[in-house]
Amino acid sequence: MSFLHLLIIPLVVAFIAPILKPKGATYLSATAFLIPFFAIIYRLFLPGPAEILLMRFSPPIGDIYLNLDYISHAFGLTICLVSAMVALFALPYMEHRFEEMKVEAEREFRKYIFIYDLYAASMLWLVYSGNLALLYVFMELMLITAFLLIYTYGYGNRRWVGLLYLVWCAIAGVLTLAGFVILAFNTNTLALNGLMASGKGVGMIAWAFIFAGMIIELPVVGPHIWLPWAHAEAPTPVSALLSPLTVGLAGYVLLRIALIDYSFIYEYRMPILAYAIFSSVYGGFSVFRQTDFKRLLAYSTVSQMGYILVALCLGPFGLIGVVIQYMSHAFGKSILFSSAGGIIAVHHGLRDLNKMGGLHDSIPGISNAAVVGFLNLGGILTVGMLGEFFILRGVVDTFLRPESPSFLGWTGSLPIILAVIFMFILSVWYGFWTIRRVFYGKPKDTKRLEISGYFYVPLFIIGGLSVLLLFPPLSTMLIQGLNAIPGLGGVVP
C-alpha cells in the first residue's frame, strides 16, 4: 500500500463513519488516523524525501504532488496522533454536549463525526500538499469544517462566534490566495519543487500578502481578537484541534515560503522579531487575567504562537525550531483543552477558575494529564525542550556575528537571548500558576469521581509520545532528517 492510499483512508472513513453507531464510528475514525501515524513513524527511519505525483497542470499551476519530506512527516505525525486521540476523548464528551443541547445523540453524532473527520483529514492533506494550489484547497476545507463545528455544537452565542471565526479566517485566506496568485504569475508555477528550482524567489509583494494572511491565521497580538472567542466557545474536541493544530499550520505555510525565499524575513527580521516577542509576552501575561479556563488556554496559544514567529526569524536553526515548537504546542494544548473538556463534562459545565481548586482529589487522571500538557508548553522533559534549544541556538547563530543587526538599539545576542529566555520562563510561570489554581490548593469537593477512561487515557498517550520524541531514536531520526533539508541546518541568511 502506497503512502497515497494511507492518506486517502481518513477521507474515505469520513463518509463511512456516520453509518456506524457512535462507538464504532469513533474507533474507526481513530484507526483511520493511527494507520498513517505508524506509517509516518516508519518513514522517519527511511533515507531521503520522496514525491508522489498526482496530476500535471499547465503553468502557472504546475505539478500537483504529495511532498514526503521530514517537515511534512513531523507535522503529519502530530496531526494524526492528536486527531486520533481527540476522537476517542470526544466519545463521552459529545454525548454530554448533546444532552446539554437536548438533541438526539445518535443522529447528531453522525453529523459531528463526518465533519470532524473531514476537518482533521484536511489538515493532514494540507501538510503533504506539494503544490500551493492544493494546499489552499485544503486550507479552505479546514476553515469551513471548523466553522460548521463551532456554529453547530459550540457554547454561548455559538453562531456569532462561528461567524466571527469564519470572517477573520476568510480574510486570512483571501490575503494568502492573493499572495499565491502573484507568486504564480511571477514564477509560472505553484509547485514547491518548481518554485525551489526556478531561483526567482517569492517577491516582496507576494510575501507581504502571504505573511499578512498567516499572521491573522496564526494569530499574534492584534489579529488575535477572534481566537479567545473561538477557542472558548467551540466544543472542546474542536478547541483541542483548532488551537494546537489549525492555527499552528499558519507557521507551516510561512515555513514553506521561507524555505523558497528567506529575503522578506531577512529584510524585516528585527521588527518581526520585536513584534513576536511582544505578542508572546502579552499573551503570557493575559493568561493571569482570565477566569474562564478555556479562554486562559486561548491566550496561552497567542503566547505560544509568538514562539513560532520568533523562531521563523532565526535562520536555519530557528526554522527547525518552528517545526518542533509546532509539535510541542500541539501535544501540550490538545491535552490541556481536553482536560478542560473533561472538567466541563464531569463537573457539570465548570469553567470558572474562581470555583475551581483542589480538583486533583476528585479527578486525578485529568489533573495528571494537564501537568504533562503544561510541561510541553514550558519545554520541560518533553519535545518542547528541543524546540527551545533550537530557538536559542538560532538566536546565537543569528546575532553573534560581526554583521549582526541590532535589537532595539542593542548589538549582539544578549538582549535577545534574555528576551527569549523570559518568554520561556513566562510559559512555565503561568503553567504552574494555572495547575495550582485549578487542581491543587484547598479542595472544593474531596469526593473521588468515577470517570470514563476516554477522558484521560488518550491524553497520556499524547503525553507519552511528547516525552519519547525527546530521546533517541525518534529525536535522532527527526533532527537528522530536518537537518538534511536545504535551508534547515543549511544556508539561510
Reference 178, options 155, 212, 154; nearest CA is 212
Q: Does residue 493 form part of some domain?
A: no
**pLDDT in the model for residue 404:** 57
Q: Does residue 488 form part of some domain?
A: no
pLDDT, tens digit, for every residue of 270-315?
999 999 999 999 999 999 999 999 999 999 999 999 999 999 999 9
Q: Does residue 92 form part of some domain?
A: yes
Q: Does residue 489 form part of some domain?
A: no
Model confidence at 55, pLDDT cuts 50, 70, 90, reads: very high
- CB count within 10 Å of CB 156 equals 10
416-421 contact pairs (CB < 8 A, 24+): 416/273, 417/392, 419/277, 420/277, 420/310, 420/391, 420/392, 420/395, 421/392
> In the chain, what's the furthest Cα-to-Cα distance?
67
- Please give the Cα distance from 421 to 388 (Å, whole number): 9
Contacts of 326 (CB under 8 A, 6+ apart): 74, 75, 78, 248, 251, 252, 308
Q: Does residue 452 form part of some domain?
A: yes
Would you state the cell numbers that stand for residue 321, as one nine-digit string? 525550531
Q: Does residue 420 form part of some domain?
A: yes
Domain limits at 65?
3-483
DSSP symbols for 179-239: HHHHHHHHHS--BHHHHHHH-----HHHHHHHHHHHHHHTT-TTGGGHHHHHHHHS-HHHH
What's the CA angle centered on 455, arms 452 and 458, to 5 degrees?
Answer: 120
- Mind spelling out the 3-state secondary structure of 124-159? HHHHHECEHHHHHHHHHHHHHHHHHHHHHHCCCCHH
Would you state the cell numbers that stand for residue 350, as one nine-digit string? 465548570
Q: pLDDT over 70 for what percent of the chain?
A: 95
pLDDT, tens digit, for every residue of 414-470?
788 899 999 999 999 999 999 999 998 776 665 677 788 999 999 999 999 999 999
Run of H or E including 64: strand 63-68
The helix/strand/coil state of 53 is strand
Model confidence at 155, pLDDT cuts 50, 70, 90, reads: very high
pLDDT, tens digit, for every residue of 359-403?
988 899 999 999 999 999 999 999 999 999 999 999 988 887 655
How many domains would you assign to the chain?
Answer: 1
